Structure formats: C-alpha cells, structure tokens
C-alpha cells in the first residue's frame, strides 16, 4: 500500500494486486460499500493519519476510486471543510463515492510475451477451471508477432466483466501489460504478423499440449 499526500486536504492511496489479495477485495466489492469494505477504508484512513498526518475526524470525505490499466486500485480521498460543505453534502451521512470507469476493463487489452515459448507456457498452465472461468475473455484472444516479441490481444472485453482483474493477476506472471493498447494494435495490424487470428489461447493448447 502506498500513501501520498497531494495537498493538505487530499491524499492518494494506491493498492497493488497483492494488497487486494491480502484484503480480499476488488473494485466491484469495494464499490458496493459493504460493512467489510467500510472497515478496510477506516483502517486505511488510520494508516494515512499516522504516516502523512492526514486527519479526517470532524471532516466529511469524498472518495474517487478506480482501477488502472496495470492492475492497481487507486483511491483519491478529499476532506471537505465544514464551512464549505453545501446543502446537499450536509444531507448526506454516508461518504460520497465518485464512480469512474475501470480502465482495466476497456474493450482492448494487450499483453507482451518475450518469446513464443513463454506464451505457450502461459497457455499450457491454464487448468480446465481457469479456462472455464475466463472463457468469455479467452474466446476474444488473438496472437501477433512483432520485433521478435509476441502479443496477445484481447478484444471486446466487457466493462462488466470483473474477472479481467483476476485474469490480469494470473497472466502478469508470464507477460507484460501494454499501457497504450490502441497504439500497439495499430502497429501490430500494420507491421506485425498474425500468428493466431482467433481463439489464440485455446488453439495454442490444442496444438501444443502433450497428449
């Protein structure tokens, strides 16, 4: 967990995938504002008070929460001074959460493998349980080669598909996430070589799995 003080009234808390696993939360569960996530949030505020002197007692707070393309979960917390709270905020007793789109769940995601062997190692490591759990993601997969690297492209990823964060956590052990996927797609389509145009993960398993 990383806590940064942006100014006297605003901090940013960054949770990586390991933090999320440790706290057993994801973006979907946190945004549900359950009792357990409220407890986690209170613990984070206590830690922020201790580390950077960010005190929220007697203040109302506004939270902006979103997941980034590299799998991190970022909270920007702003404390609102009593004298500038408007009438609408005075009526609200619960913390206000501003919902943002989950960048990790955009409609295009690309991962880079150093070589074809690493790509095959990833595909062949997927158990039947993983294949079933991520089938809506896997069926959109295509594989390209470019400059001696291999790129797994996932198209039309549903923004409601929360499994993509878990999928990212798994595949990150084998590959690197491309942070500007639209630009890379243009390069791959223009200069790259199509290796497996459709259903690349299942096709790799089909052709290279030992009988």
Domains of the chain: 2-100 (no CATH), 105-208 (3.30.70.1950)
More confident residue, 195 or 95: 195
The per-residue pLDDT for range 139-198, each reduced to its tens digit, is 788 999 999 999 999 887 654 555 666 777 778 888 888 878 888 888 999 999 999 988
Q: Which residues pair with 2 in a beta bridge?
A: 14
Q: Give the chain's end-to-end CA distance (angstroms, integer).
A: 44
Phi, psi (degrees; rounded to nearest 5) at 75: -115, 125
Nearest residue to 12 (alpha-carbon basis) of 21, 22, 1, 23: 1
What does the radius of gyration of the chain's CA atoms come to, in whole angstroms?
21
Nearest residue to 89 (alpha-carbon basis) of 101, 76, 74, 78: 78
Q: Which of 3-17, 95-109, 115-129 has the lowest mean pLDDT?
A: 95-109
H helix or E strand, kind and range, residue 89: helix 87-91
Nearest residue to 100 (alpha-carbon basis) of 148, 30, 9, 51: 30
What pLDDT score was predicted for residue 93?
A: 46
Compute the average pLDDT of residues 117-128: 87
What pLDDT score was predicted for residue 70?
A: 65
Give the C-alpha separation, 16 to 68, whole Å. Answer: 10
Q: Count Cβ atoms below 10 Å from residue 145 Cβ, excluding itself.
A: 17
Size of the chain, expressed as the number of residues it contains: 211
What pLDDT score was predicted for residue 102?
A: 39
What pLDDT score was predicted for residue 2?
A: 87
Give the C-alpha separation, 198 to 180, whole Å. Answer: 22
More confident residue, 98 or 158: 158
The per-residue pLDDT for range 68-93, each reduced to its tens digit, is 666 677 888 888 776 554 555 455 54
Give the C-alpha separation, 97 to 207, whole Å. Answer: 48
The per-residue pLDDT for range 31-59, each reduced to its tens digit, is 555 555 667 778 888 888 888 888 888 77
Q: Count Cβ atoms below 10 Å from residue 186 Cβ, excluding itself.
A: 12
């Amino acid at each position: 967990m990383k806590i940064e003080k942006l100014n006297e009234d605003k901090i940013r808390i960054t949770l990586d995938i390991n933090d999320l696993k440790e706290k057993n939360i994801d973006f979907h569960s946190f945004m549900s504002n359950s009792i357990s996530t409220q407890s986690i949030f209170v613990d984070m505020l206590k830690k922020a008070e201790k580390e950077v002197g960010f005190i929220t007692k007697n203040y109302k707070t506004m939270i902006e929460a979103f997941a980034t393309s590299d799998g991190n979960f970022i909270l920007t917390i702003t404390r609102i001074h009593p004298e500038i709270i408007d009438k609408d905020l005075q009526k609200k007793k619960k913390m206000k959460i501003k919902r943002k789109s989950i960048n990790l769940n955009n409609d295009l995601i690309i991962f880079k493998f150093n070589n074809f062997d690493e790509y095959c190692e990833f595909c062949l490591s997927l158990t039947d349980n993983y294949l079933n759990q991520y089938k809506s993601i896997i069926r959109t997969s295509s594989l390209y080669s470019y400059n001696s690297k291999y790129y797994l492209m996932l198209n039309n990823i549903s923004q409601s598909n929360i499994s993509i964060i878990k999928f990212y956590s798994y595949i990150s052990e084998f590959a690197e996430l491309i942070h500007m996927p639209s630009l890379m797609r243009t390069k791959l389509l223009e200069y790259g070589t199509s290796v497996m145009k459709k259903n690349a993960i299942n096709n790799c398993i089909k052709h290279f799995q030992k009988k």
